[in-house]
Amino acid sequence: MTTPDSMRRVLVTGAAGYIGSHACMRLIESGCRVVGLDDLSRGHRGATRALESAASRAPGEFEFVEGSIADRTGTVELLTDRRIEVVMHFAAFAYVGESVERPLLYYDNNAGGACRLLQAVEEAGVPRFVFSSTCATYGEPPEDRIPIAEDCPQSPINPYGRSKLMVERMLEDRVEAARTAGTPFAATMLRYFNVAGSDPEGRVGEDHRPETHLIPICLEVAAGRREALVIHGDDYPTPDGTCIRDYVHVVDLVDAHLAVMDAMKDGELRRYNVGLGHGWSVREVLESCRRVTGRDIPATMGPRRPGDPPTLFANASSIGRDLDWSPRFTDLDETVATAWRWMQANPSGYGAD
Ligand SMILES: NC(=O)c1ccc[n+]([C@@H]2O[C@H](COP(=O)([O-])OP(=O)(O)OC[C@H]3O[C@@H](n4cnc5c(N)ncnc54)[C@H](O)[C@@H]3O)[C@@H](O)[C@H]2O)c1
C-alpha cells in the first residue's frame, strides 16, 4: 500500500503493550500511518493482530516490526525508511518490585534503551518525541504538595522511577542541544498517574503478566482467576484508611499524546501530569468493581507496602490549559466497565501469545 504524503507517520515503541496498543489504535483511527515497534518481551502478538485488523477498517495504517529500541542501527533504518515524523516512546519495564530486585535490568532497558533510541532519533532527524514518564518520578511528595503539580521536586524512591527520571534528564539536555544548534527537535514528557480501563470497543486491553494494578486484580478475582484481593494497609490517614490514587482512563491518556503531538514546536520541552486531578481509595475501587461486575469480590487485609504514600493525585491543570485536554472518563464505574468488558470477552487475556 502506498502511504499518502498527508498521513502523519508515527513510530510507537512498546506497541504490543497495554498503553502502546491503545495509542496505536487511536492513531490509526485518526488517520495516521503507524509503525509499532516491540520486542515482545512483555507485550503480546495478539495486540498487534488486533491492531492490524482494526487498521483494515480505519482511515490509518498499521505495520508491526518486532525489534528492540536498543538496536540503534535497526531503529535508524526503520525511522529513515518509513520517514517517521513523531516517536511515541512507551517501551519500558514497569514493575517497581522487579526494579528493586534487578535494578540494572531497569537502568539498561529503560535508561540505556531510551538513550540508544534517542541517538537513533537524532541520527534519523526525527523532529518530535513523546515520552511515557510517570508519577513515580515524584517519589513520596510531602502532603502540602498534593495535588502534585509539574514543579513538585522529583525524588524517586525506586530504580524504576529513577530510570524514568534519567530519560527526562536526557530529553532536557537533548532539546537544549538542538535549540543551541538550531536543529528541529521538540520533546514532551507525560507523567502518567494510574492508568486504567480498556478500549471501549474491546479490541485491545490490559494483560500484564503478572498483573500488579488494582482494577484488573479486582476483576481477576471477580472472574474467578484469583481468590481474593489483598488490601495493603487500612490504617493510612485517609477517610477510609486505604490509599488514594488517581485513575486516568487509557483512552483519555492516549488522547493527550495526540493533542501534544500536534502542539509541539521546535526547541520546546514540555512536561505534563496526566491524571484526573482527584483520587479514589482502594476500598472505593473495590466497591466499584463489585457494582460493575455484580459479583462478590473477597478481600483480605495485608500489611502496608514500603514506599506506598497514603495519597497521590495529579494537578493536571497545565495540560488542560495548554492543550484543552480534559478527561472524558470521570466516572470510576465507567472506567471499570471498559476493563471488565475486555476481560469477559478475553478470559485468558491475549492467550498464549
Ligand atoms: N500502566 C501504568 O499505569 C503506567 C503508569 C505510569 C507510566 N507508565 C509507563 O507507560 C509505558 C507503558 O506501560 P504499559 O503499562 O503499557 O506497559 P507494558 O509492559 O504493557 O508495555 C510495554 C511494552 O514495551 C515492550 N518493551 C519493553 N522493552 C522493550 C525494548 N527494549 N524494545 C522494544 N520493546 C520493549 C514490552 O514488550 C511491552 O509490550 C511504560 O513506559 C511505563 O513506564 C505506565
pLDDT tens across 289-303, in order?
999 999 999 999 999
Nearest-atom number in ligand 1 for the CA of 40 is 37
- Three-class secondary structure of residue 56 per DSSP: coil
Residue-level pLDDT at 130: 98
Residue-level pLDDT at 3: 60
128-134 and 86-89 strand pairing: parallel
Residue-level pLDDT at 33: 97
The answer, yes or no, to whether any atom of ligand 1 lies below 6 A from the CB of 212, is no
Nearest-atom number in ligand 1 for the CA of 136 is 6
Nearest-atom number in ligand 1 for the CA of 16 is 39
Side-chain half-sphere CA neighbours of 254 within 13 A:
22
Nearest-atom number in ligand 1 for the CA of 93 is 27
Residue-level pLDDT at 184: 97
Catalytic residue status for 160: yes
Task: Judge whether 91 and 38 are in contact, CB under 8 Å.
Answer: yes
Nearest-atom number in ligand 1 for the CA of 109 is 31
The answer, yes or no, to whether any atom of ligand 1 lies below 6 A from the CB of 113, is yes
Residue-level pLDDT at 307: 82
At residue 102, φ and ψ (nearest 5 deg) are -130, 65
Task: Please give the distance, rounded to the nearest whole angstrom, from the Cα atom of residue 94 to the centre of ligand 1.
Answer: 6
Task: Judge whether 130 and 257 are in contact, CB under 8 Å.
Answer: yes
Query: In this structure, what C-alpha cell is assigned to residue 251?
Result: 483512552
Task: Please give the distance, rounded to the nearest whole angstrom, from the Cα atom of residue 75 to the centre of ligand 1.
Answer: 18
Query: What are the sequence ranges of the domains in the chain?
Result: 9-345
Cis peptide bond prior to 210, omega within 30° of 0 = yes
The answer, yes or no, to whether any atom of ligand 1 lies below 6 A from the CB of 68, is yes
Cα distance between the two ends of the chain: 27
* Closest C-alpha residue for ligand 1 atom 18: 17
The answer, yes or no, to whether any atom of ligand 1 lies below 6 A from the CB of 65, is no
- Residue among 160, 236, 247, 350 flagged as catalytic: 160
The answer, yes or no, to whether any atom of ligand 1 lies below 6 A from the CB of 69, is yes
- Any idea what DSSP says for residue 311? B
- The rounded distance, in Å, linking the Cα atoms of 270 and 260 is 9
- The rounded distance, in Å, linking the Cα atoms of 22 and 26 is 6
Task: Please give the distance, rounded to the nearest whole angstrom, from the Cα atom of residue 136 to the centre of ligand 1.
Answer: 14
Topology given in CATH for the domain delimited by 9-345? Rossmann fold (3.40.50)
The answer, yes or no, to whether any atom of ligand 1 lies below 6 A from the CB of 208, is yes
What pairs with residue 64 in β-bridges? 36
Residue-level pLDDT at 148: 98
pLDDT tens-digit readout, 143-181: 999 999 999 999 999 999 999 999 999 999 999 999 999
Instruction: Show the low-confidence residues of the chain (pLDDT under 70).
Output: 1-5, 353
Task: Please give the distance, rounded to the nearest whole angstrom, from the Cα atom of residue 83 to the centre of ligand 1.
Answer: 24
The answer, yes or no, to whether any atom of ligand 1 lies below 6 A from the CB of 315, is no
**Substitution candidate for ligand 1 out of 26, 90, 160 with most atoms within 8 A of CB:** 90
**Substitution candidate for ligand 1 out of 22, 26, 35, 39 with most atoms within 8 A of CB:** 39
